[in-house]
Amino acid sequence: MNTQALPRPDEGFTARLGMWVFLASEVMFFGGIFVAYGYGRSHWPQGFAEAGRHTHVAIGTLNTALLLTSSAIVAFAAACARHPPARRWTARLLWLTASLGMAFVALKGVEYAKEWHEQLVPGAGFALATPGAQLFYMLYFFATGLHALHLAIGIGLVGALAWGSGRRRAWADGEAVEMSALYWHFVDIVWIFLYPLIYLLGRHA
């Protein structure tokens, strides 16, 4: 009897579908934060505007540039991982991506320290008296802290793949690099939405 092997499921498709489902759940989670922000700004526009003017736009802008650059670099890394002649560049590009992510987190730490000294952390002794200002900073710390957590996960993932790719490990293949790049782009897109809401709108209110 002539037997033929049944076609195996497309593992790459399964991985991509799983990643998209995960990212869709994350979009809904961050969407709740954006809805809360919209509610607060519509009910306490003066407080949100004043609070926004106290944010450190220079640091936020520099961090935006870092993330946009890292997103372009991780896209190049994914392309190199799929193209054998250029595969030797994959690990270097992934290390560079992770380094830019760490620079973002470090700058965010500097920004948090400044806000602590300026008494902009919600609670007793909060510096701004306008109603709604404290809510703005509650949402600010929650949203940016959650984003930083996601970025830290991305740094660990990209760093692991950089190590594995540099040592030709089978698990650090093109599919894995592509999935990590997709996650990194998601984190970048979330920040693209956060940046104008946090740093720009209050300055034009």
172: nearest Cα among 94, 110, 71 = 94
| 8 Å CB contact between 119 and 126 | yes
CA distance 51 to 138: 11
Q: Which percentage of the chain shows pLDDT scores above 90? A: 74
Domain segments of the chain: what residues?
A: 23-204
Question: Span 23-204: which CATH code?
Answer: 1.20.120.80
| 8 Å CB contact between 80 and 89 | yes
The pLDDT of residue 1 is 45
The pLDDT of residue 130 is 95
Residue 3 has pLDDT above 50, yes or no: no
* Tens-place pLDDT, residues 75-84: 999 999 988 8
Residue for token pair 């890394």: 77
Average pLDDT over residues 132-144: 97
Residue 100 has pLDDT above 80, yes or no: yes
User: Global pTM?
Assistant: 0.88
* Tens-place pLDDT, residues 24-71: 878 887 889 999 999 999 999 999 999 999 999 999 999 999 999 999
The pLDDT of residue 121 is 96
Residue 10 has pLDDT above 80, yes or no: no
* Burial of 188: CB neighbours in 10 Å, binned 0-12, 13-18, 19+: buried
